[in-house]
Structure formats: structure tokens, C-alpha cells
Structure 1
Amino acid sequence: MKLSDFDFDLPDDLIATRPARPRSSARLLVAGPDWTEDAHVFDLVNWLQPGDRLVLNDTKVIPARLFGTRTRQTGQGPATARIEATLVEPTASGTWQALIKPLRKVAEGEEIVFSDALTARLVTRGDGMGELAFNLTGDDFDAALAQAGAMPLPPYIAAKRPADEADREDYQTVWAERSGAVAAPTASLHFDQPLLAALAERSVGFTHVTLHVGAGTFLPVKVDDVSQHKMHAEWGEVSATAAAEIAATKAAGGRVIPVGTTALRLIETAARDSGAIAPWTGDTDIFIRPGFDFHVADALMTNFHLPKSTLLMLVSALMGRDRILDIYDHAVRGGYRFFSYGDASLLLPKGGKRHD
């Protein structure tokens, strides 16, 4: 398939820069194989059935965007440059891979000062990124990063406004627990405690898994033949408890519904070897596109994605390319809000019924 097969027209004014308040008041487009219904996220209780299971990504976004300065002595005296760094992922040696702008302004071995407490030295550079060694580790590093860092909003939001204090809460799920993501599992941002309580009362189950979302989730596809695209790798874990809960739901005839493409990619990775969910830990670069054989996910709750993106290919694999383009056309015509802070969809490839 060609990259152009996954294109659609999206008016710029439909790109959300702030979330709905309260979270569960966001709109929800519910779509089956041949029908579409407009709803709101709080209506999930009317679409899910007792025995269904939502799979939730419990990763926690770190304030990975840093602004600092480096000072270099020259023949004309000290020369200062402003430096922006977005942490991408830690290395085995304790350093961090980071996107640094402008990378050409920093020489290997130079120090960048981000705050009175937090500094870093550029160890190496390559492929548009640098490796940073910070002056702190462990809890001390986490505390200093919390003070100095900003939430790493997606590029299409950051281009419209800077991150602020509201984003520290808005760009984090209510069940976030395991630090390590530099992007949020955005479909999960629609859940609040009242909605979780209502779903629990309806006997909907919850299973937590972890996939640390990386900055690569925003990288564009640069090849016309999508089969040649190489996915970025992200670390994830499906615990033995999580695998057992999901397997039990499948055995009992309930639906397994990941909340977000990150949770879906992870559980399908964990089922690749045997065709059934199993405990799994590691780096996944699974690329889900039309023709993919789903072993675990029966449906998906997700936001609306970028044209020509791997995430649009993923939902096309679930629903069919023509069907997903029809759904997105409905969303555009209906004024749904797109991307990370936007509205959501509930995709039911096998159909489903509303229960009032």
C-alpha cells in the first residue's frame, strides 16, 4: 500500500490545543462495520457490557522538555547560546538520548545548565540526537527534572502555544504510575474517576499494562511504500497478572478493548509467538497496518490521528481502510477535535449495541 492511501483533508481549526473539561465530556464517535453514532466519552457505560475488559497503559509522562544555556569562552569573551533538549529515552549506562536544538551549538564535552540544580554534559552526538550525562541520578534527578522540565507536548500543539502548568495535569492520565514516557497515551486522557467508577459498577474490568511512549510516535512516514517503513522501538511490559486477566476475559467471551494504540500494540506484541496473550517484557517495534492478524484486541478506543501516520494505518488494519476514511470524513464534517487533546472514537469491528 502507498502512503497516499492514508491521506485525508483536515482543517487546521480542528486540531485541539486544550482538552475538554471535564475529561469525560469529550465527544466519542462510536463506529461499527457499517454504522456510526455520535456520543460522548461518558456514554461508554452504555456501550460496554459486563465482562468486557479495558486495557489501560499506566505509563507516566516525565517533564522531558528542558530549556537551558551553554557558555563557551571565545577570543571575544564568553558566548552564550540558548539550548532546548527533549529527553527521548535513557540508556543502559544511565545517560539520556535527547533531541537537542540547535545541536550544532553544543560541542561534545560541553555543559548545558538547565537550572541551579540540573546540568548535563554532551557525551556524543549523531543522527540528529545527542547523549546527555546529567549531574544527578535517581530521586534527585527526578526532583530536579520536575522543577526544571516542561511537559513534552506534541509538535502540532507546541507550534501553537508553549506548555504551561495546566499541561502537567492535563497531559497525564489519572492512573499514571510508571515514569518513562515522553508522550501521553492520549485516549486515556478522557477518563476521570466518576467514569471509572461508573464502568466498575457496570462490571467492566480493568487491566494495567505499561508501554513507555517515545518521541518516535510523532515521526512522519518518509517512504511511499509503507511496507518499507521502520517503526521506532518502545519498552513495554505485560505482567503475568495482566496476561491472566486478559486470557480469562477472552475465555469467558468478554471483549478485550485496549484504550489507545499503545496498549493495543503492546498486547498484540505479547501474543505474536503463540497467538494468545502471554507475559511479555521488552522493546517492541511492531508495525500494525492493513493485513495484520489481530489475536487479542476485539475493539479499540482511540483518538483521531494524523493523515499519513502509522496510527491511521493501525486503525485501518482494525476497521478496513475505506471504512476508517469514511469514519474520519464523518468526524471532520461533524467538527470533532483531532489529535492528542482532541475527541475520541470507539471502534467496534465486530459491531455492538448501545444499552441505555
Structure 2
Amino acid sequence: MKLADFDFDLPERLIATRPARPRSSARLLVAEGDAIRDAHVFDLPGILRPGDRLVLNDTRVIPARLTGQRHRDSGQGPVSARIEVTLLEPRADGTWAALLKPLRKMDIGEDIVFSPELSATLEAREDGQGLLRFNLAGEDFDAALAQAGAMPLPPYIAARRPADAQDKDDYQTVWAARSGAVAAPTASLHFDEPLLAALRARGIAFTHVTLHVGAGTFLPVKVEDVTTHRMHAEWGEVSATAAAEIAATRSAGGRVIPVGTTALRLIETAARDTGAIRAWEGETDIFIYPGFEFRVTDALMTNFHLPKSTLMMLVSALMGRERVRRIYDHAIANDYRFFSYGDASLLIPPGA
């Protein structure tokens, strides 16, 4: 299985840099078996069945992109220079792993000042990352970060425009609850309160799980034989309540439909050991590519993904490579908007 098997040509004009407004007005490509039809996200209540269950990732994106001034004493007086920081994940020792630009010019022990309230010290370097210890913790840290930080937009958006105040709303789901992600579960960005109410009225149920999406989600696959690729690890949790709700839906004949690849990867991780969904917590590096046996997922709502990405491999595992190729050909021919702020697809395999 070669990387080129998951490649396609995407016109640059189809890369979305702003979301649809209102959120649920985004277009929705519905692929059910071999049939493809065009709809909108607000049509979901009429497309799904009573008794279906949507699995939602309730992670909250932190404003992880910071710009500060590094300060040190050169021996001939203080030296100050601009530095850009993207937070990646907190460590057990209280430090944060982060990407620093330029990391190579910084000395261990140097301070970075982001605002009058927020600063950090570089304590170590590790695998091309810096380990930062901030001057604040807990709610004080969260409040200062909210003021000083910007949303960590994906590289394909950030290359076209800087993050702004609107992104703090746009790049966050309406049910975000548990802080820790540095990238959004983007399929979930299409939901708003009127749509959620309409789905409830239709008899569609919801289950919340948590997977803190890491910056590794944007790392390219660098191996030609995709089966040798190794995924980045991300922390997640399926509570006992969530596992019971999903199991009950399956027992009753309803469909379990994760909203987004992050929710899918998490529930499939939680079913690896026994073949059935169970409570689970920890780090997952599950890699889903064609040949994968799905044990929980019946269908998937997801955005349109980057060529040669692990997410293209995941949707190909669910729907089949040739079927996904037809889906993407249809999306491009009909001007669907791609990637994080783009349109969505509902992928329903044959027989689901």
C-alpha cells in the first residue's frame, strides 16, 4: 500500500480560510454505499434515523500560539528578540512541550515574556521541541493564555492569513468543555444550537468523549509504504457512561456515527482489546488504513482531507479506496470547500 494511492489534485481555490455562516449552512456530501448526493449540514435531521447516536469530541482548543520577547544577559547587557511559540502538550512535571521559533538561538534558562502577566523559562530541549515552565498555573494560567494567545490555525490557513479574534469562536465547537487540544475536531464545527435541537427532536442521541487533538495531526506522512508509518500519540477518554450509551445504541440496532476522525479513532481504540466498546483512558496512536476492522463505527461525518494524509487513509478504510476517489472527484467537480473550515461529508458504508 503506497502513499501515492491516497494522492489527488486539489485546486487551491477550494481551500477554505473562513467557515460557512451560520455553521450548519455548510454543504454536506452524503455518500451512502455507492450513491452520492448533495445536501447541507442542516439537512442532517432528515438524513439520520431515530435511534442513531452521534459521538462528539468535547475537547476544547487552547489559544496555543504565542508571540513573545526572549530576554537574557549577554554579559554586555540585556538582549531581547522576538520568538514565536506553539504549545503542544503539558507534561507531568508541570512544563509544556512547545515548538519555538527560533529554538536554536535560545539558551537553557532564558525567559520569554508574552504579556505583563504571562512569561515562561526554557528548561530543556527535546526532539526539536522546547520544554517551557510558565510563571502561572491553573486558572491564572488559563486566563493569561486566553488574553495573550491566538488560535493555532492549521498551516494551510495560517499561510494565507493570520489568526484573529473571530477564530476564537469559529475554531471552537459549541460543546467544547475540556481544555487541551491544539487543533479543533473540525467536523464538529458545523453544528450549532438550532441543529442540535432539531436532531434531538428527531430522536438522534449524543455521546461526548474526549480526545485532545495534537499538532501531530498536521504532520505529513514521509514513508512510501504507509503501513510503516507511526502515528503521534494523543490523550483521550471514553467514560463508563459514554461506553454504556454507545453499547446500548448498538444493542438496540441504532447506528453509532462519530463526528470527526478524532472521535472515531478514540472509540475504536476503546474497543481494541475486547472487540466491544468499554471505558478507556490513556494515549492512543491507533493508525487506521485499508484493511482495518471497525468494531464500533457504523458511519462517519467528516470534512474533506489533505492528499496523502493519514485521514485519507482512514476514510478509505471505512468506504474503500475507489469509492473515496469517486467521492472526492465529485466534491472537487462540484466546488466543495476543503479542510478545517470547509464543507462536510457523511460517509455511510454499504449495509450500514
1:112 match: secondary structure: strand
Equivalent-residue separation in structure 2 for 1:26 and 1:158 (angstroms): 21
Q: Is the contact made by 2:51 and 2:203 (CA closer than 8 Å) also made in structure 1?
A: yes
Partner residue in 1 for 2:131: 131
Dislocated runs of 4+, deviation >4 Å: none
1:104 match: secondary structure: coil
Matches within 5 A, 1:264-275: 264-275=264-275
1:328 match: secondary structure: helix
Equivalent-residue separation in structure 1 for 2:19 and 2:263 (angstroms): 21
Partner residue in 2 for 1:100: 100
Report the CA distance between 1:126 and its aligned residue.
2.6
Partner residue in 2 for 1:326: 326
Report the CA distance between 1:224 and its aligned residue.
0.6
**Equivalent AA in structure 2 for residue 48 of structure 1:** L
**Equivalent AA in structure 2 for residue 33 of structure 1:** G
1:303 aligns with 2:303: yes
- Scaled by the length of structure 1, the TM-score of the pair is 0.97
Q: Is the contact made by 1:86 and 1:98 (CA closer than 8 Å) also made in structure 2?
A: yes
Report the CA distance between 1:322 and its aligned residue.
1.0
1:105 match: secondary structure: coil
Q: Is the contact made by 1:98 and 1:130 (CA closer than 8 Å) also made in structure 2?
A: yes
Partner residue in 1 for 2:238: 238
**Equivalent AA in structure 2 for residue 196 of structure 1:** L
Report the CA distance between 1:34 and its aligned residue.
1.0
Equivalent-residue separation in structure 2 for 1:351 and 1:195 (angstroms): 26
Matches within 5 A, 1:80-229: 80-229=80-229
Partner residue in 2 for 1:317: 317
Equivalent-residue separation in structure 2 for 1:48 and 1:224 (angstroms): 38
Partner residue in 2 for 1:280: 280
Partner residue in 2 for 1:68: 68
Q: Is the contact made by 2:64 and 2:87 (CA closer than 8 Å) also made in structure 1?
A: yes
* Structure 1 stretches lacking a partner, 5+ long: none
Report the CA distance between 1:127 and its aligned residue.
1.8
Partner residue in 1 for 2:253: 253
How many residue pairs are counted as aligned between the two chains?
352
Equivalent-residue separation in structure 2 for 1:273 and 1:75 (angstroms): 58
Report the CA distance between 1:80 and its aligned residue.
2.0
Report the CA distance between 1:325 and its aligned residue.
1.1
Report the CA distance between 1:75 and its aligned residue.
6.0
Partner residue in 1 for 2:343: 343
* Structure 2 stretches lacking a partner, 5+ long: none
Report the CA distance between 1:106 and its aligned residue.
1.2
Report the CA distance between 1:48 and its aligned residue.
0.4
1:265 match: secondary structure: helix
Equivalent-residue separation in structure 2 for 1:75 and 1:14 (angstroms): 52
1:125 match: secondary structure: strand
Percent sequence identity over aligned pairs: 77
Equivalent-residue separation in structure 2 for 1:108 and 1:75 (angstroms): 16
Query: 1:307-347: CA deviations, max 9, x gaps?
Result: 00000000000000111011011101110000000000000
Report the CA distance between 1:81 and its aligned residue.
1.5
Q: Is the contact made by 1:81 and 1:105 (CA closer than 8 Å) also made in structure 2?
A: no
Query: 1:12-40: CA deviations, max 9, x gaps?
Result: 11000000000000000000221100000
Report the CA distance between 1:137 and its aligned residue.
0.5
**Equivalent AA in structure 2 for residue 296 of structure 1:** V
Report the CA distance between 1:128 and its aligned residue.
1.7
Report the CA distance between 1:46 and its aligned residue.
1.2
1:24 match: secondary structure: helix
2:63 match: secondary structure: coil
Equivalent-residue separation in structure 2 for 1:351 and 1:200 (angstroms): 25
Q: Is the contact made by 2:34 and 2:350 (CA closer than 8 Å) also made in structure 1?
A: no
Equivalent-residue separation in structure 2 for 1:225 and 1:299 (angstroms): 27
RMSD, aligned CA: 0.9
1:294 aligns with 2:294: yes
